[in-house]
């Protein structure tokens, strides 16, 4: 069982809301720092361990700065994410660009920052050379096909658009070496939000064996193997979190059995965890606006799918508590909804909760990754603020809420019909 406890008292929450109206996402700095330290501790045995935090999970420079202070780098998948990493003080090969269908400007910015570039397709070698030149260290993303099972979120590897096949991978290293690249890494990412610890150990074994093959067949001693992310979090209270210590020790054993006898004992281990680092320590706080009774009992919030898309997109579960009613009996059944003109704009369906009243504060758990990040402006909805619960208990604004002027900004140009809002 995973305890679901909001780190702010109802009284303090009301004080926060007086200054920062709902909805907003709030992140627990102390818990995030402690969680990242736990990951590093699990891989303390490795000759070198790198965590390239997946920026897409929570693209906020203040959060990235906190993670950098704890030793993390950045896994970027777009030009904007490269700029965010740079703004947070993440530099050089602490940055990895892993994109797909990549435009030239992303490669060019990565080169400018001195980042590692992780190519998604063999054809990108020529494109990269022509449009940006090669980085000091080049990596390739391997798609193992049927050798590894994916899941519903990321899909099955054989159906995925990501990565190189086995034969393409060897051709890619050979070609890049011929073109003068001297330093290489290896990458894979085949699963998302996985709670079965052995999945990560099995992936490591596969990748370690591949690293040995690359050395034997091509004479290339890889500098690192990036095992990707995908470590899940217990969204449901009855779920157990992944035992990072077990994962770390299992990968250590595989390293000793496969890597060290092959003379690759210098090989660094890298990961690009996002969800697992910040996910459990973000919360969406909303206010109840309406209750509608028809064929079902609907509770309408001031937040919507624009603030948290996962339930509508994946049918994902996010735990919900009502501030001040944490111990009340869950003896009412509700659909919890937003106001978008889409019937799937629901945070929960037939959820057992305490009696909800207009004005109640609803807290949705585990929104610290792929929460605010996936927000959009459909129906003209504005994206919410992001707050940081600092280690000293104070509150810091780390993203202001969007305004109508923000929303209309791109519609203002010479001859535009839109004027500044009043």
Strands 268-271 and 224-226: parallel
Q: Where are the domains of the chain?
A: 29-279, 280-411
Greatest extent of the chain over all pairs of C-alpha atoms, in Å:
70
What DSSP designation does 78 have?
S
User: pLDDT 10s digit of each residue in the chain, 422 long?
Assistant: 678 999 999 999 999 999 999 999 999 999 999 999 999 999 999 999 999 999 999 999 999 999 999 999 999 999 999 999 999 999 999 999 998 899 999 999 999 999 999 999 999 999 999 999 999 999 999 998 765 554 454 445 554 557 899 999 999 999 999 999 999 999 999 888 999 999 999 999 999 999 999 999 999 999 999 999 999 999 999 999 999 999 999 999 999 999 999 999 999 999 999 999 999 999 999 999 999 999 999 999 999 999 999 999 999 999 999 999 999 999 999 999 999 999 999 999 999 999 999 999 999 999 999 999 999 999 999 999 999 999 999 999 999 999 999 999 999 999 999 876 66
Structural domain 280-411, CATH architecture: Beta Barrel (2.40)
Pick the CATH number of 29-279 from 3.20.20.210, 1.10.10.10, 3.20.20.10, 3.40.50.1170: 3.20.20.10
Three-class DSSP category at 386: strand
Predicted structure pTM score: 0.94
Q: Cα(329)–Cα(318) distance, rounded to whole angstroms?
A: 19
**Which residues 6+ apart lie within 8 Å of 327 measured at CB?**
none
Whether 341 is catalytic: yes
Q: Cα(270)–Cα(9) distance, rounded to whole angstroms?
A: 38
**Which residues 6+ apart lie within 8 Å of 296 measured at CB?**
334, 335, 350
Q: Choose the catalytic residue: 137, 304, 330, 341.
A: 341
Instruction: Please state whether the peptide bond connecting residue 23 to the residue before it is cis, i.e. omega within 30 degrees of 0.
Output: yes
Q: Cα(113)–Cα(79) distance, rounded to whole angstroms?
A: 11
Q: Cα(154)–Cα(321) distance, rounded to whole angstroms?
A: 29
């Amino acid at each position: 069982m995973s305890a679901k406890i909001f780190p702010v008292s109802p009284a303090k929450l009301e004080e926060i809301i007086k200054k920062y109206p709902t909805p907003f996402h709030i992140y627990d700095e102390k818990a995030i720092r402690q969680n990242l330290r736990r990951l590093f501790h699990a891989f303390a045995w490795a000759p070198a361990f790198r965590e390239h935090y997946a920026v897409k999970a929570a693209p906020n420079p203040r959060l990235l700065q906190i993670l950098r202070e704890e030793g993390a780098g950045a896994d970027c998948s777009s030009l904007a994410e490269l700029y965010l990493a740079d703004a947070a003080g993440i530099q050089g090969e602490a940055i990895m660009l892993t994109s797909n269908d990549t435009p030239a400007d992303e490669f060019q910015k990565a080169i400018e920052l001195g980042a590692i570039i992780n190519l998604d397709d063999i054809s990108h070698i020529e494109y990269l050379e022509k449009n940006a030149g090669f980085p000091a260290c080049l990596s390739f993303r391997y798609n193992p096909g049927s050798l590894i099972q994916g899941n519903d979120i990321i899909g099955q590897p054989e159906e995925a658009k990501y990565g190189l096949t086995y034969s393409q991978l060897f051709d890619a290293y050979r070609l890049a070496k011929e073109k003068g690249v001297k330093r290489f890494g290896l990458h894979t990412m085949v699963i998302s939000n996985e709670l079965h610890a052995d999945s990560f150990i099995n992936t490591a074994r596969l990748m370690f064996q591949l690293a040995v093959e690359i050395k034997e067949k091509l004479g290339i001693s890889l500098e690192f193997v990036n095992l990707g992310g995908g470590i899940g979090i217990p969204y449901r209270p009855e779920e157990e979190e992944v035992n990072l210590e077990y994962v770390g020790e299992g990968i250590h054993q595989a390293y000793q059995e496969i890597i060290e006898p092959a003379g690759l004992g210098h090989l660094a281990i890298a990961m690009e965890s996002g969800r697992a680092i910040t996910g459990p320590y973000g919360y969406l706080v909303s206010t109840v606006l309406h209750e509608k009774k028809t064929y079902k009992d609907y509770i309408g919030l001031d937040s919507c799918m624009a603030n948290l898309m996962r339930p509508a997109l994946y049918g994902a579960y996010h735990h919900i508590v009502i501030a001040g009613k944490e111990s009340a009996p869950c003896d009412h059944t509700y659909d919890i909804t937003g106001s978008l003109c889409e019937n799937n704009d629901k945070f929960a369906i037939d959820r057992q909760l305490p009696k909800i009243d207009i004005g109640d504060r609803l807290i949705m758990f585990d929104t610290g990754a792929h929460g605010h990040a996936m927000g959009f402006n459909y129906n003209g909805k504005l994206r919410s603020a992001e707050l940081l619960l600092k280690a000293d208990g104070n509150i810091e604004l780390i993203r202001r809420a969007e305004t109508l002027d923000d929303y209309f900004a791109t519609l203002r140009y010479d001859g535009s019909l839109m004027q500044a809002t009043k």
